[in-house]
Amino acid sequence: MNGRLCSAGRWDPLVRRLEALGYRDGETLFAAPYDFRYAVPSAVGARYFRDLARLLRRARRLNRGRPAVLVAHSFGCALTYQFLLSRPLPWRRRHVGHAVLLGPALGGFAEGMEGLVTGTGCGLPDAAARPMKARLARSQQSALWRLPTPPVFGDRPLVVTAIETYTARDVAAFLEDIGFAEGVRPYVTRVLPIWRDLPAPLVPVTSVIGVGVATPETFVFRTEEGFEGEPEVVYGDGDGTINIVSLVAVDEWAGVQGQVLKVLRLPGVHHTSFFADDFALTSVVAEIYEAGGSVQLDPDV
């Protein structure tokens, strides 16, 4: 990870806006791309965290001891959050002045369960055969991170078949029943422990979320064959992908001593539109600019 932007893809509109404000690639603007297939704990995840820590130290040196503003979107928010928790508090506060989270899903989302059944969102075209998509989805470590967590979703019905109703507390049984028994052990031993609680990271956080967009919250399979066929979808509030209960999970940090928190709700903004919708993009740039202005220089450079 060298921190250079190269081709930022969907981040390009945000990068251009920030460059117009005076940010410079490799000097005051850095990239930390990740492979979305992997999560932590894993060798790939551990290496990413080491590289990110090295990049933050470098950015701080290049900017006279000013800690960085970390900006993350979607799965990157979950990675950023776990990265912060993995570092000692003095290190966090020395190197991260603010975290701006765009569409954070710190409690998973309902589509994470449906994706393991149908393979939706695995990266293959929609026209690809369902078994192929499901196999690919299940091969990705990060698929288990997308699953709704019990502390956030509680007893809400997420997947319903003719004989079972699955909540976030039934994920292990759900994995068995869809024929993904090999996913149970890593889910129980690796994923659940790190998402059992959501302790405040104790660095300033701004969370920017889309709201008021119809978002899948329950998938109903009507056939007698369990998970065959296309499910009926019950919609609720959210950003079109992430359910509102997961988006607002950070609200529990409000009032925690030592935690600065701001939550900005953007009505009608979809999860995938933060870099495409002009209203959303303008709002995000304003929050980054405000966060950067609040970062203080570290006297012990």
Contact 121/16 with Cβ under 8 angstroms? no
Residue 49: per-residue pLDDT: 96
Domain that holds residue 249: 9-106+199-211+238-294
Domain count within the chain:
1
Between CA 266 and CA 50, with CA 194 as vertex, the angle to 5 degrees is 85
Q: Which of 73, 74, 177, 273 is catalytic?
A: 74
In a domain, 29, yes or no: yes
Residue 225: per-residue pLDDT: 78
Question: In the chain, count of helices (H) and strands (E)?
Answer: 12, 8
Contact 115/136 with Cβ under 8 angstroms? no
Residue 125 has pLDDT above 70, yes or no: no
In a domain, 132, yes or no: no
Q: How far apart are CA 67 and CA 98, in angstroms?
A: 8
Tell me which of 147 and 3 has the higher pLDDT: 147
In the numeric block, which tokens belong to residue 89? 């508090």
Lowest mean pLDDT among 154-168, 262-276, 285-299: 285-299
In a domain, 279, yes or no: yes
In a domain, 137, yes or no: no
Please write the tens of the pLDDT for every residue from 247-261. Answer: 999 999 998 999 999
Q: For this structure, is 239 an active site residue?
A: yes
Residue 212 has pLDDT above 90, yes or no: yes
Q: Which of 73, 98, 270, 271 is catalytic?
A: 271
Residue 81 has pLDDT above 60, yes or no: yes
Q: For this structure, is 270 an active site residue?
A: no
Q: Kindly state the percentage of the chain with pLDDT values over 90.
A: 78
Model's pTM, two decimal places? Answer: 0.91
Residue 129: per-residue pLDDT: 72
Average pLDDT over the chain reads 91
Burial class of residue 131 (count of CB atoms within 10 Å of its CB; 0-12, 13-18, 19+): exposed
Please write the tens of the pLDDT for every residue from 14-29. Answer: 999 999 999 999 999 9
Q: For this structure, is 86 an active site residue?
A: no
Residue 36: per-residue pLDDT: 86
Q: Which residues contact 2 (CB under 8 A, 6 or more apart)?
A: none
Tell me which of 125 and 256 has the higher pLDDT: 256
Please write the tens of the pLDDT for every residue from 215-247. Answer: 999 999 998 878 988 899 999 999 999 999 999
In a domain, 92, yes or no: yes
Q: What is the CATH number of the domain that holds 30?
A: 3.40.50.1820
Q: Which of 177, 239, 246, 270 is catalytic?
A: 239
Between CA 232 and CA 241, with CA 236 as vertex, the angle to 5 degrees is 85
* CB-based burial, 140-152: b 16+ in 10 Å, e otherwise: bbbbbbbbbbbeb
Residue 1: per-residue pLDDT: 38
Q: What are the phi and psi torsion angles at 298 (to 5°)?
A: -90, 120
Q: Where would I find the beta strands (DSSP E) of the chain?
A: 68-73, 96-102, 159-160, 165-166, 205-211, 215-220, 232-236, 261-267
In a domain, 159, yes or no: no
